[in-house]
């Protein structure tokens, strides 16, 4: 009788776990690093470009055919701000991790002869409230874990500086951490180089010793580790996999599986290495989708594809170092579209319509409330205020009201040069976008619908629109006490945009 009662309890427990899993879908967040808007055979514009014909990403095509493609998905222009916004739901101006992080209490800002940059949160995220220059926040994976999800981090973290709690994803709500640490780039993509652990510096990718001495490429190694970990998910718990590739970030190495076809097309070695890196990333996506199909998980798993910032671009509007953002202007580090507009696809079985396209805009902090709503995590309490807005209505193809304002704030110096790069604050409202450059105080106004390449600055022709958007932008920055640089010559703080405009 006792055994029978125990079996009944076990059965009820198993049924309860099964029902929980069915009502709480698995989520895979597939994050790519530094991927340009056109670095794929999937066109994210109204027409196919020559760059879409250059790359071979059949699994992105497959995902887009099964789900919804977003043509106006935005992130920050550099890595750490995007990743912190994703984990916290906060706009970068609020969480103040406005540039990329590395060493504790040390800024990564390149020196500017005219501006001194503010003391931003160089230490990244902290799960505790006693770390200086860090944002204390309740993270998305922590909320999911508290709600019964098995949370897995695989790949690039870049959430906190070396030696701080936030540099280890295990401190931020992940049950498992595979190869994530403080740095934002791999020491090497090659196992024969021990993924950079055989050289000086902090860049070596950790936890992949099993592959040393082989011909394994980093993207494939991470994929294999992630799939093995999915096999270990206990008791049919729903899982959240943050599949965060180091690809397609520099420094490049030849992925022998794919590079020859691009060399044969006549690409130079850097371009060929980059194209092979993109295709290897796409293979990872396909391997994960195949795994879900083979294990009967596809119908209850949401896949979200996103990049953390625009592709690395050469100086000059529309020029490229090796990535292709055109028709967007500039690239990584820029306030222009090439720095912040990203390739995004969502597949949610039973919700998204196959091969659908969404042309409404959204921003990276929106992923936080959206994933919580997708997974049925209700009444989530956070330490921090959440700026993001759920984009579930977009996934369900419901009409959303016009007039939403998006904000970017970068009171920093990434270090590169090029169009739109430098300390700035930006607002988008409907089709209008205003960029305020901190150093010289100039404003640039674009109508993005009519001028996606931001070739035509309309600020002189539309002074009232400049005034309206500058006021909206300043009101937001003031409301969250956003940091601004100071002028070296006068030690005065750079004024907010509307104040600057009125002083003319």
14 pLDDT band, cuts 50/70/90, is very low
- pLDDT digits 0-9 by tens, 235-247: 879 999 999 999 9
276 pLDDT band, cuts 50/70/90, is very high
Same domain, 441 and 372: no
Residue 347 lies in a domain: no
Mean pLDDT calculated for residue range 311-318? 60
Same domain, 389 and 446: no
Neighbour count for residue 217 (Cβ, 10 Å):
25
**Alpha-carbon separation of residue 39 from 49, 101, 279, 320, 417 (angstroms):** 10, 26, 10, 11, 22
| More confident site: 14 or 359 | 359
| More confident site: 313 or 341 | 341
- pLDDT digits 0-9 by tens, 25-72: 999 999 999 999 999 999 999 989 888 999 999 999 999 999 999 999
Same domain, 331 and 426: no
Q: What is the pLDDT of residue 323?
A: 60
310 neighbors 340 (Cβ within 8 angstroms): yes
CATH of the domain at 56: 3.40.720.10
CATH of the domain at 481: 3.30.1120.10
- pLDDT digits 0-9 by tens, 290-304: 999 999 999 999 999
379 pLDDT band, cuts 50/70/90, is confident
Same domain, 474 and 388: no
Same domain, 41 and 181: yes
Res 320 pLDDT > 90: no
Res 13 pLDDT > 60: no
Residue 249 lies in a domain: yes
Res 20 pLDDT > 70: no
Last residue of a domain, one of 395, 420, 444: 395
Q: What is the pLDDT of residue 417?
A: 83
Rounded-to-integer distance, Cα 357 and Cα 46, Å: 11
Residue 108 lies in a domain: no
**Encoded tokens for 204:** 């070596």
| More confident site: 7 or 249 | 249
Give Cα 501 to chain centroid, integer Å.
32
Residue 197 lies in a domain: yes
DSSP for 382-411 reads: -SS-------HHHHTT----S--EEEEEE-
Lowest average pLDDT, out of 46-55, 97-106, 401-410, 458-467, goes to 46-55
Residue 103 lies in a domain: no
Same domain, 328 and 437: no
Rounded-to-integer distance, Cα 500 and Cα 463, Å: 14
Res 488 pLDDT > 60: yes
Residue 69 lies in a domain: yes
Q: What is the pLDDT of residue 9?
A: 41
- pLDDT digits 0-9 by tens, 164-216: 999 999 999 999 999 999 999 999 999 999 999 999 899 999 999 999 999 99
Neighbour count for residue 459 (Cβ, 10 Å):
17
Rounded-to-integer distance, Cα 262 and Cα 454, Å: 31
Q: Across all residues in the chain, what is the average pLDDT? A: 93
Determine the number of helices (DSSP H) and then strands (DSSP E) in the chain: 14, 16
Mean pLDDT calculated for residue range 316-327? 57
Q: What is the pLDDT of residue 7?
A: 46
Residue 164 lies in a domain: yes
Is the bond into 373 cis (omega within 30 degrees of 0)? no
Res 153 pLDDT > 70: yes
Same domain, 61 and 157: yes
Res 314 pLDDT > 70: no
Q: Dihedral sign, CA of 285, 333, 118, 478?
A: negative
325 pLDDT band, cuts 50/70/90, is confident
Same domain, 409 and 391: no
Res 3 pLDDT > 80: no
The string over 234-245, giving b where at least 16 C-beta atoms fall within 10 Å of a residue's C-beta and e elsewhere, is eeebbbbbbbbb
Mean pLDDT calculated for residue range 95-106? 98
Same domain, 409 and 390: no
Res 272 pLDDT > 70: yes
Res 324 pLDDT > 90: no
Res 4 pLDDT > 90: no
Same domain, 414 and 386: no
pTM (2 decimals)? 0.94
Mean pLDDT calculated for residue range 278-292? 98
Same domain, 379 and 286: yes
Mean pLDDT calculated for residue range 474-485? 98
Same domain, 490 and 386: no
Last residue of a domain, one of 395, 424, 446: 395
**Encoded tokens for 262:** 């691009």
Q: Which of 157, 108, 70, 23 is nearest to 391 (CA)?
A: 70
DSSP for 242-290 reads: EEE--TTPSSP---TTTHHHHHHTT--HHHHHHHHHHHHHHHHHHHHHH
Residue 344 lies in a domain: no
**Residue ranges making up the domain that contains 445:** 405-502
**How many structural domains is the chain composed of?**
2
- pLDDT digits 0-9 by tens, 197-210: 999 899 999 999 99
């Amino acid at each position: 009788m006792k055994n029978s009662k125990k079996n009944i309890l076990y059965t009820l427990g198993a049924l309860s776990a099964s029902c929980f899993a069915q009502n709480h879908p698995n989520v895979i967040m597939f994050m790519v690093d530094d991927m340009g808007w056109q670095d794929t055979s999937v066109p994210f514009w109204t027409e196919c470009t020559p760059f879409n014909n250059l790359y071979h990403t059949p699994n992105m095509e497959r995902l887009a055919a099964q789900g919804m493609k977003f043509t106006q998905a935005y992130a920050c222009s550099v890595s750490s701000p995007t990743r912190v916004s994703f984990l916290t739901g906060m706009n970068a101006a609020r969480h103040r991790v406005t540039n990329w992080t590395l060493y504790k209490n040390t800024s990564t800002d390149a020196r500017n002869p005219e501006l001194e940059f503010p003391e931003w949160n160089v230490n990244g995220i902290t799960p505790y409230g006693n770390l200086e220059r860090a944002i204390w926040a309740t993270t998305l994976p922590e909320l999911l874990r508290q709600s019964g999800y098995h949370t897995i981090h695989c790949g690039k973290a870049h959430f906190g500086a070396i030696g701080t709690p936030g540099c280890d994803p295990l401190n931020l709500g992940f049950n498992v951490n595979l190869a994530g640490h403080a740095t934002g780039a791999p020491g090497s993509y090659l196992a024969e180089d021990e993924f950079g652990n055989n050289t000086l510096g902090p860049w070596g990718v950790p936890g992949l010793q099993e592959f040393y001495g082989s011909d394994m490429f980093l993207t494939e190694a991470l994929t294999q580790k992630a799939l093995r970990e999915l096999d270990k998910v206990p008791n049919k718990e729903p899982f959240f996999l943050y599949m965060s590739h180091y690809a397609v970030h520099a420094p490049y190495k030849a992925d022998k599986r794919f590079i020859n076809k691009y060399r044969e097309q006549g690409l130079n070695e850097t371009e060929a290495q980059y194209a092979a890196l993109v295709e290897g990333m796409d293979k990872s996506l396909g391997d994960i989708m195949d795994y879900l199909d083979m294990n009967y998980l596809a119908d209850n798993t949401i896949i979200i594809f996103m990049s953390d910032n625009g592709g690395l671009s050469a100086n000059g509007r529309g020029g490229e170092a090796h990535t292709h953002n055109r028709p967007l202007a500039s690239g990584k580090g820029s306030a222009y579209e090439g720095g912040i507009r990203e390739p995004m696809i969502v597949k949610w079985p039973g919700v998204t319509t196959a091969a659908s396209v969404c042309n409404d805009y959204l921003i990276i902090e929106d992923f936080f409330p959206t994933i919580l709503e997708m997974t049925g995590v209700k009444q989530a309490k956070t330490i921090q205020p959440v700026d993001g807005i759920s984009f579930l209505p977009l996934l369900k193809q419901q009409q959303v009201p016009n007039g939403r304002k998006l904000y970017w704030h970068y009171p920093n110096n990434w270090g590169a040069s090029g169009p739109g790069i430098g300390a700035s604050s930006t607002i988008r409202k409907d089709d209008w976008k205003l960029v305020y450059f901190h150093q010289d105080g100039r404003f640039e106004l674009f109508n993005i619908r009519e001028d996606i390449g931001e070739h035509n600055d309309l600020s002189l022709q539309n002074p009232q629109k400049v005034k309206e958007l500058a006021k909206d932008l300043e009101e937001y920055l003031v409301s969250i006490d956003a940091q601004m640089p100071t002028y070296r010559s006068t030690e005065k703080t750079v004024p907010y945009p509307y104040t600057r405009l009125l002083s003319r």
